[in-house]
Amino acid sequence: MYEPLYDDVRADHKYTMRISRLAIDKLGIRLYDRVSAVLAELIANSYDADATEVAVSLPWGVTLAGSVRGASEPQYEIVVSDNGHGMTADEVNQHYLMVGSDRRMRTGSDLSRERHRPVMGRKGIGKLSAFGICGTIEVISAGSTDADRTENGWPVAHIVLDLDDMLCDTESDYFPAAGELDGTLSSHRGTTVILRNFFRKRVNSGPELSRQLAARFGIERTDWRVEVHNSAAQGKQESFILSDLAIDVMEETRVDVSTRPVHVGRQYLPVTGWIAYSKQPYRDEAMAGVRIYARGKIVAQTRDFGIGHGFTGEFKLRSYLVGAIHVDWLDDDEDLVRSDRQDIIWNSGRGEALAAWGRELISEIGRRGERSIRRRVWEEFVEKSTIYEVLEAIAPGDKMFRESVVSAARILVANKDRAALDDPGHVESTMRLALSLGPQRSLLETLQQIAEDADPHLDVVVALFERARVAEIYSLGQIAGERVAVVAKLRGLIDDQRSLERPFQELIERAPWLLAPEWTPLGMNESLKRVRAAFERWYAQKFGATLVTTAIGSEKREPDFVLLHDAGELWIVEIKRMDYHLTDEEYNRAINYLYALDTFLTENPRIGVQFPRRRLTFIVDHIDRLRPASRSSLDSDARVDRRTWRELLDSTLRAHRDFLERVYAMRGADDDSAEAV
């Protein structure tokens, strides 16, 4: 026979609605699948509990569970402790264990109890976020008001929540187990949350974790301090203090948005903070784009506010745009924050107004940023290539030649980012190409002078052609022709629905510029072979498994993935045949390869410093068979992306046209010639 939740429910109400705990699982737990996101929720709870000191302890740079050597791994813990007002057992029942109720309506205030802080919590599901990464949550809390204090201290509430037990019966009430400290007394107030029994989740390194947590909070208060310790540090203290996310920006592009409110109907809603261009491209996704805060906690992150194409600076925008704006009215009476606090409801009236405001602003910043980036990239290229010193040594008496080479170099680096200049080989190849292309302009100008000369001397003409290096100009034409052939080959493989993975793999390896149009044949060198061989040997020793990272020269078996590199970046490319449906197993295996590559480069820092950026790309037509967790990982991890074969072909064609336009521009031809090709 059905039993209602409480006796008074049966007495006062004829009908009762019961929410299945599986709904809580879908609506709350599965919204959080990253360690940094879970830590942010626990830290926010401490802030709302009026804590002034929060201590976080967790192992840095490890996979918490589920590796190949899982049986021998230590049993990790994540511990978050604060000195907030704490909770009594009654408050644990009334508030902490009340899932999914609006905190502000329940307490009648949107300010914290003692320090009157604008509280971050609202929806009542963040407290269960930890179940996105672990199976056990232990809560120890002592408090709460002066009236609760006894002569011997504060009463302690101690509960242990188990995910399996919580979900095994989806209709009955859940009764957490009482811990051993429950009912005891404590000399101080505060709450400690301990997480155990983890799923396979990766904890970033200390610097990465610091940036990720800093990006999630925009709080500036003197009564608030969070310290994060590395529990895996052996024999030494490693920690950092949560602070503002430090981004070095181009000051000439910075815009203070406090004087630019958002126009909604007849209202002008306030916005504070700043937007600018960073001096360097993003180091990780925590720095990418504009972070939007409400009540001091991140609620969205956007790289472009949904702006379309065709504005000045658009190609640099998505690599350099940064900012931190505070929009508290997103989390006021009208709740426009998504349940996982990772985005806002953009299709609302206020959301659309904010997006329009942002698009107008970044169009302006794009114009400023394009000029600034080009100037800074050129200055850095001049410094690293010593182009003026080289030209003075090569042609001290030929000003026209020197100016032509400098003009060609400016064209070649015009659309580069500063990260590309970190590779000395790339700088050298650009310099060589400028020396090859530069004389063409002087060639045309000098030929015109010779044509006007009634009696040109033969030795003058010979010297002219030697200086112009016609052979090198011809080799550039060969490069352009080879690209045309590769594009045609890719188109043929795509049009042939029967094409298998191997020809695609070999084509991508031989022409990596299909994925990264800025790469050139001159930019590739022998170092990749050494890195690839070292990584394969390390992987075999570490995991006892053979790994193949190239399609070229591995005829006996299919490669696990293709490994490419350029300009400080190592790139894992997972290639599937046309019309293939990626599986969950294949997705997770590739993610594990990326983690393994990170570990290899961390353990071998002299190699790792050469490749500060690592990424994973899936080239596959369908991802409809991926589970929600994998789809969420793919959408949220900026280091992981996916392209269809048609998308790859389209981007290659557009990049190829741009390449030829540059060639013709340097030859002095008109735009129509380039477009015709």
Q: What local confidence, expressed as pLDDT, does residue 200 receive?
A: 87
Domain that holds residue 332: 251-372
Asked if 635 and 538 sit in the same domain, the reply is yes
Asked if 408 and 312 sit in the same domain, the reply is no
CATH code at position 577: 3.40.1340
As a whole number of Å, the end-to-end CA separation of the chain is 79
Most confident listed range (117-131, 261-275, 371-385, 447-461) = 261-275
387's CB contacts (< 8 A; 6+ apart) are 381, 405, 406, 409, 431, 434
Asked if 514 and 560 sit in the same domain, the reply is yes
User: For 618-623, what is the mean pLDDT?
Assistant: 92
Q: How confident is the model at residue 184 (pLDDT cuts 50, 70, 90)?
A: very high
* Predicted confidence (pLDDT) per residue in 324-333, tens digit: 999 888 877 6
Residue 227 lies in a domain: yes
Structure tokens that stand for 494 in this block: 């795509």
Q: What local confidence, expressed as pLDDT, does residue 6 receive?
A: 44
Q: Degrees (nearest 5) of the Cα angle 337, 91, 219?
A: 40
Residue 167 lies in a domain: yes
Examine the pLDDT at 663 and tell me if it is beyond 60: no
**Cβ-count burial 92-105 (b if 16+ within 10 Å, e if not):** beebbbebeeebbe
Q: What local confidence, expressed as pLDDT, does residue 461 receive?
A: 52
Residue 566 lies in a domain: yes
Examine the pLDDT at 12 and tell me if it is beyond 70: no
* Predicted confidence (pLDDT) per residue in 234-246, tens digit: 778 899 998 887 8
The residue among 565 and 100 whose pLDDT is bigger is 565
The residue among 10 and 555 whose pLDDT is bigger is 555
Under 8 Å between Cβ of 299 and 337? yes
Helices (H) and strands (E) in the chain, counts: 21, 20
Asked if 74 and 203 sit in the same domain, the reply is yes
Domain termination site, one of 372, 394, 427: 372
Asked if 145 and 285 sit in the same domain, the reply is no
Q: What local confidence, expressed as pLDDT, does residue 228 receive?
A: 95
Examine the pLDDT at 141 and tell me if it is beyond 90: yes
Distances (CA, A) of 282 to 69, 321, 378, 382, 614: 34, 9, 19, 23, 12
Under 8 Å between Cβ of 522 and 433? yes
* Predicted confidence (pLDDT) per residue in 154-174, tens digit: 999 999 988 888 777 666 777
Residue 486 lies in a domain: no
Under 8 Å between Cβ of 245 and 384? no
Asked if 445 and 380 sit in the same domain, the reply is yes
* Predicted confidence (pLDDT) per residue in 509-524, tens digit: 777 777 766 554 433 3
Distances (CA, A) of 536 to 290, 381, 532, 562, 626: 39, 35, 6, 12, 28
Domain termination site, one of 186, 210, 240: 240
Asked if 382 and 509 sit in the same domain, the reply is no
User: For 175-192, what is the mean pLDDT?
Assistant: 92
Structure tokens that stand for 576 in this block: 């599937």
**Looking at the 3D structure of the chain, how many domains does it have?**
4
- Put simply, whether the predicted model's pTM sits higher than 0.85 gets the answer no
Q: How confident is the model at residue 2 (pLDDT cuts 50, 70, 90)?
A: very low
Asked if 113 and 147 sit in the same domain, the reply is yes
Q: What local confidence, expressed as pLDDT, does residue 414 receive?
A: 74
Q: What local confidence, expressed as pLDDT, does residue 656 receive?
A: 59
Asked if 127 and 51 sit in the same domain, the reply is yes
Residue 602 lies in a domain: yes
Q: How confident is the model at residue 117 (pLDDT cuts 50, 70, 90)?
A: confident
Residue 399 lies in a domain: yes
Q: What local confidence, expressed as pLDDT, does residue 475 receive?
A: 45
Specify the 3-state DSSP secondary structure of 248: coil
Asked if 378 and 310 sit in the same domain, the reply is no
626's CB contacts (< 8 A; 6+ apart) are 582, 583, 584, 587, 634
Q: What local confidence, expressed as pLDDT, does residue 521 receive?
A: 42
Helix (H) or strand (E) holding 225: strand 225-230
Q: How confident is the model at residue 279 (pLDDT cuts 50, 70, 90)?
A: confident
Under 8 Å between Cβ of 605 and 598? no
Under 8 Å between Cβ of 343 and 292? no
The residue among 567 and 619 whose pLDDT is bigger is 619
Mean pLDDT, the chain, whole residue set: 78
Domain termination site, one of 214, 240, 266: 240
Which range is least confidently modeled, 232-246, 327-341, 373-387, 499-513?
Answer: 327-341
Residue 413 lies in a domain: yes
Which range is least confidently modeled, 34-48, 174-188, 598-612?
Answer: 598-612
Q: How confident is the model at residue 304 (pLDDT cuts 50, 70, 90)?
A: confident
CATH code at position 114: 3.30.565.10
Torsion-angle region of 222 (φ positive above 0: left; ψ -120 to 50: alpha; else: beta): alpha
Examine the pLDDT at 14 and tell me if it is beyond 70: no
* Predicted confidence (pLDDT) per residue in 48-102, tens digit: 899 999 999 999 999 888 544 455 566 899 999 999 999 999 888 888 887 766 5
3-state secondary structure 166-180: HHHCCCCCCCCEECC
Q: What local confidence, expressed as pLDDT, does residue 341 receive?
A: 57
* Predicted confidence (pLDDT) per residue in 424-480, tens digit: 877 887 887 777 766 665 555 555 555 555 454 555 555 555 544 444 444 455 555
Distances (CA, A) of 9 to 13, 58, 447: 6, 43, 98
Residue 568 lies in a domain: yes
The residue among 69 and 134 whose pLDDT is bigger is 134
Asked if 435 and 556 sit in the same domain, the reply is no
481's CB contacts (< 8 A; 6+ apart) are none
Examine the pLDDT at 106 and tell me if it is beyond 90: no
Examine the pLDDT at 337 and tell me if it is beyond 80: no
The residue among 643 and 654 whose pLDDT is bigger is 643
Distances (CA, A) of 442 to 386, 401, 467, 468: 22, 6, 9, 8
Under 8 Å between Cβ of 297 and 306? no
582's CB contacts (< 8 A; 6+ apart) are 576, 618, 620, 622, 623, 625, 626, 642
CATH code at position 299: 3.30.230
Per the listing, tokens 């201290």 go with: 153
Examine the pLDDT at 185 and tell me if it is beyond 90: yes
Asked if 134 and 229 sit in the same domain, the reply is yes
Residue 174's closest CA among 100, 103, 102, 97?
97
